[in-house]
Amino acid sequence: MEANHRYNYYSLSIAIVFVACLLISRVIYALFLSPYSHVPGPRICKVTRLWVDLHDIFLRRNQQIYKWHEKYGPVVLIAPGEVSVSSAASTKIVYRAGTQHPKSSFFDNFTMYGERTIFTALGCVDHRAMRKSTFSFYQPTTVYSDSVMGPLRQRVHLFVDELNNSAHAESTVGADIFKLTNSYAFDNITSLVYGPSHTSQSLESVKEKQTILEDWAECEVWNNLLYTFPLAHKFMKFAITRLQNPQFLHAEEKLFEWNMERLDSTIQNISTATGLSLVGRLLKDKKGGEVPRKTFLAAECLDNIHAAQTTVSLSLTYAIWLLAVHRSWQREVRNELQNLPMEDDGMPCFDAIKNAPILEACLRESLRTKPLSSGRAERIVPETHLYDDVMIPAGTIISTSTIAIQHNPSVFQNPHFYDPGRWLRADEDELRAMESHYIPFGYGARICLGKAFAVAEIKLLLACLLLNFDIHENEQSSTNATSMSQLGTENALPRGLRCDVLFRRLQKA
């Protein structure tokens, strides 16, 4: 019996020593012998990716990577085989057209209905082939046409009418601008995707208890866990659904069903979509008479809705909130707009609004200080190459930290301070440097296709709001600098998932 105990003790000791040797060998290899041992970054990130994954699931990945860039420089190893860059030079190498940096498998998380869309196409050749149909559709010549801008201006006035109706006899109304702009952006993009006859009406029914957008943001908050530890996400969702809330994290599934129903309706009445919608364009551009698969059409529609809705909603939310905080700039923009010639609907024409320099400066500064996305635009290094004098092996995952590049102190003095004036007083060289470090809509061949339409949505609504209301912080609400700090979600949502501000009617002259 004693011999057996002695044997078990020795066996356990040998096993412990063996495991310890393996771990020590792994650490020594990672720190001193691996192809990434020379890349700047935290030592723990050279050994395991669990450290960055933990920051990811706790929604602080973006901010932590920015801190690492502040400490280690423009190239940082954030996990074995994965680096982040923050310089304009490296960003140009990674994302410019012709550099052949394919997307990483991270984008597999965004496939829908079993289909790859333009956004989820990994290879550069595949992406070029797929984007031909939608590229021309989203050009300014299309989206700035009367058939698109007319309905958009109507929804802008509907938005203002919603605020006026909420105010009743009072001159001041409080509103969650994050919720309202979600509805506004959703209605705009569904009109463009399916056609005006098949658009959603969420802005008009925003007061209803249940809308298709209600739980969308909550799903995104939990998506980091889904992407990083999918089994843990599945178990958590199952447990909460069964024990507490049957509707927990089902918003995406509802949207999938709604999208397919809306697509069916559009196809059945295609005459109302052709030439005015993305669906009509995709059907019109079918190759060799081959009708695109319905699942592909559904995936492309929903992909466009996802991208456009979040981009516009976040842009407007932060632009409005920052103008409410920095009221001197709000007055500057309003004065600029009031001096523009007005159309019959009481607003300047879009060309005048689009080219208003102070409005443009305020929007740029908002998008710079509050980036729209996580910056996780991962690419694969095609061949071993120098990035900011650091040799990065082929096959490495590489991406630019949006926060880090847009807060570069050598380019943006006092980078965390909201100062639209920096864009107005910069000389030619300074402006060129700032623009090379400003990537709110992406960079290069895969820049956001819907940028022109998004700019129209954002600037038209901002102009109409500022011409009708004086916007203030709502000090009685929970909205403050902390609640408006950004989560490390894919679309950099505000921490509080709402933004309460006050709108006071301006006295008409």
Binding region:
448
Q: Which two tokens stand for residue 155?
A: 């929804």
Where do runs of H (alpha helix) occur along 195-293?
216-228, 230-243, 251-268, 278-284
Compute the half-sphere exposure of residue 154: CA atoms within 13 Å on the CB side of its CA.
Answer: 12
Alpha-carbon distance of 22 to 28, in angstroms, equals 10
Of the candidates 424, 488, 486, which has an alpha carbon nearest to the alpha carbon of residue 65?
488
Pairing of strands 172-176, 390-392: unpaired
Compute the half-sphere exposure of residue 424: CA atoms within 13 Å on the CB side of its CA.
Answer: 15
Quickly count helices (H) and strands (E) in the chain.
Answer: 22, 9
Of the candidates 339, 381, 380, 383, which has an alpha carbon nearest to the alpha carbon of residue 358?
339
Of the candidates 273, 225, 308, which has an alpha carbon nearest to the alpha carbon of residue 489?
225
Decide: 419 and 115 in contact? Cβ < 8 Å: no
Annotated binding site for heme: 448
Residue type, 495: R
SS3 375: coil
**Cα–Cα separations (whole angstroms), residue 304 to 223, 268, 299, 314:** 19, 21, 9, 16
The partner residues of 505 in beta bridges, in order of sequence, read 469
Alpha-carbon distance of 476 to 240, in angstroms, equals 33
